[in-house]
Amino acid sequence: MTTSSRLRNKTILVTAAAQGIGRATALACAREGAQVIATDINAALLDKLAHASTGIRTAVLDVRSAEAIAALAAELPALDGLFNCAGYVHHGSVLDCDEAAWDFSFDLNVKSMYRMVRAFLPGMLDKAKRREGGGTSIVNMASMASSVKGFPNRFAYGASKAAVIGMTKALAADHVQQGLRCNALCPGTVDTPSLRERIAAAPDPAQAERDFIARQPMGRLAVAEDIAPQVVYLLSDESRFVTGQVVLVDGGVTI
């Protein structure tokens, strides 16, 4: 494993780190010298991740639980970086989305980030006050399916990811003078375990996969390792003049 030091001396927490983009990002941050706290609800997969790299400490964390988040925040040192990655794709139009589905999407995709930021921001602001250079950084996982672009059957998902973008900009505006940056990340379609589940659940999985690929002008799905470098950049001091931005890594979908 090659290592460098773009995130040296930084403590970075990643949610939904057991698989997909969160996992690839936790590994990439560790390679860049960060002390990574990789969290997820899946303890078994977290255990595998802990064995895959040095520099990664794992903690089971349900981002839907304010109590669990507060307990973890009380136990950890102040963070330099927070990657709010956890999220869920509801498939369907407004007519497929009852109130329970809407509430679940907003709780996991949006309110979880509010909870994480409420718990970890005071420590991050305090740390930013004492630091020179880039300060502290939050990256919130949004999507190109959001206020950026509408997609069929992404009603609750698109609405919730648009809310993530609004929250990101509000946080960036409130704390821009306190050494805290906050950006929203919008990947294209990424080949992750949950995408494979969405493909398998389609009436014609082979056609569903072709359709996902067809909407990517580069002619392929992204892999998680296409996305992780952008998060490393946004968490590093290299992006110290970048805040409140909607950062697209979408293989040309929104050209």
- The catalytic residues are 157
Q: Does 194 bind ligand NAD (CB under 6 A)?
A: yes
Q: Does 187 bind ligand NAD (CB under 6 A)?
A: yes
Comparing CA positions, the residue from 76, 62, 169, 65 lying closest to residue 127 is 76
Which residue's CB is nearer to ligand NAD, number 131 or number 169? 169
N-term to C-term CA, the chain? 34
As a whole number of angstroms, the distance between CA 208 and CA 11 comes to 39
Exactly one of 16, 117, 182, 248 binds ligand NAD (CB under 6 A); that residue is: 16
Exactly one of 32, 40, 80, 226 binds ligand NAD (CB under 6 A); that residue is: 40
Instruction: Write out the binding residues for ligand NAD, residues 53-112 only, by CB under 6 A.
Output: 61-64, 85-87, 89, 108
Tell the smallest beta-carbon distance from residue 103 to ligand NAD (Å).
Answer: 14
Q: Which residue is nearest to ligand NAD (CB)?
A: 87
- Helices 20-31, 224-235: inter-axial angle, 10-degree rounding: 50
Q: Does 251 bind ligand NAD (CB under 6 A)?
A: no
Comparing CA positions, the residue from 162, 155, 156, 152 lying closest to residue 211 is 152
Which residue's CB is nearer to ligand NAD, number 86 or number 247? 86
Tell the smallest beta-carbon distance from residue 26 to ligand NAD (Å).
Answer: 11
As a whole number of angstroms, the distance between CA 171 and CA 140 comes to 11
| CA-based torsion, 142, 209, 48, 4: positive or negative | negative
Part in contact with ligand NAD (CB under 6 A); list of ranges 69-77, 116-124, 165-173, 193-201: 193-201
Exactly one of 11, 143, 183, 230 binds ligand NAD (CB under 6 A); that residue is: 143
As a whole number of angstroms, the distance between CA 143 and CA 110 comes to 12
Helix (H) or strand (E) holding 137: strand 136-141
Tell the smallest beta-carbon distance from residue 179 to ligand NAD (Å).
Answer: 26
Comparing CA positions, the residue from 187, 189, 193, 200 lying closest to residue 230 is 187
17, 141 contact by CB (below 8 A): no
Note the residues at the interface with ligand NAD (CB under 6 A): 15-16, 18-22, 40-42, 61-64, 85-87, 89, 108, 141, 143, 187, 189-190, 192-195
